[in-house]
Amino acid sequence: MIQVTPQMRILVAVEPADFRKGIDGLARVCRETLRQDPFSGYVFVFGNRCRKAIKILVYDGQGFWLCQKRLSKGRFPWWPPQASAATEALEAHQLTVLLSAGNPAAAQGAPPWRRVDVGA
């Protein structure tokens, strides 16, 4: 089981991925297309062309995790727009919203770091 924490860095690939690829193929996409090291601990999120499924690739220090979610009905309504960047960063709570087929851009969450005031 993968636990997504606020400290994790999450990158969503803007271009659709070929879902016939497994761990090695998606790791190659990370290196060549996204220009990121797949061993960095980043959480890489890929969508297929018809936006009915999402794959997540992450290295946990011992090996790779590859998770897939395919919707039984409908499509994921949100995906980053085609831009000059190959990826878009998300926060942990936004990934949870995306996996629930919601709009992570509209998700309101606490900042990942905030000052803690010590009572006097």
Q: pLDDT of 53-65, one tens digit each?
A: 999 999 999 999 9
In this structure, is residue 29 part of a structural domain?
Answer: yes
Instruction: Taking residues 27-47, report their average pLDDT.
Output: 96
User: What is the chain's mean pLDDT, rounded?
Assistant: 90
Structural domain count, the chain: 1
In this structure, is residue 40 part of a structural domain?
Answer: yes
Contact between 113 and 31 under an 8 Å Cβ cutoff? The reply is no
The larger pLDDT score, comparing residue 120 to residue 93, is at 93
In this structure, is residue 4 part of a structural domain?
Answer: no
Cβ neighbours of residue 5 closer than 8 Å, sequence gap 6 or more: 92
In this structure, is residue 116 part of a structural domain?
Answer: no
In this structure, is residue 27 part of a structural domain?
Answer: yes
In this structure, is residue 37 part of a structural domain?
Answer: yes
H-only helix segments in the chain: 23-32, 92-99
What does the pLDDT read at residue 112?
64
Range of the domain at 40: 10-106
In this structure, is residue 51 part of a structural domain?
Answer: yes
What does the pLDDT read at residue 31?
96
In this structure, is residue 111 part of a structural domain?
Answer: no
Render pLDDT for 72-106 as a digit per residue (tens, 0 to 9): 999 999 988 887 789 999 999 899 999 998 888 88
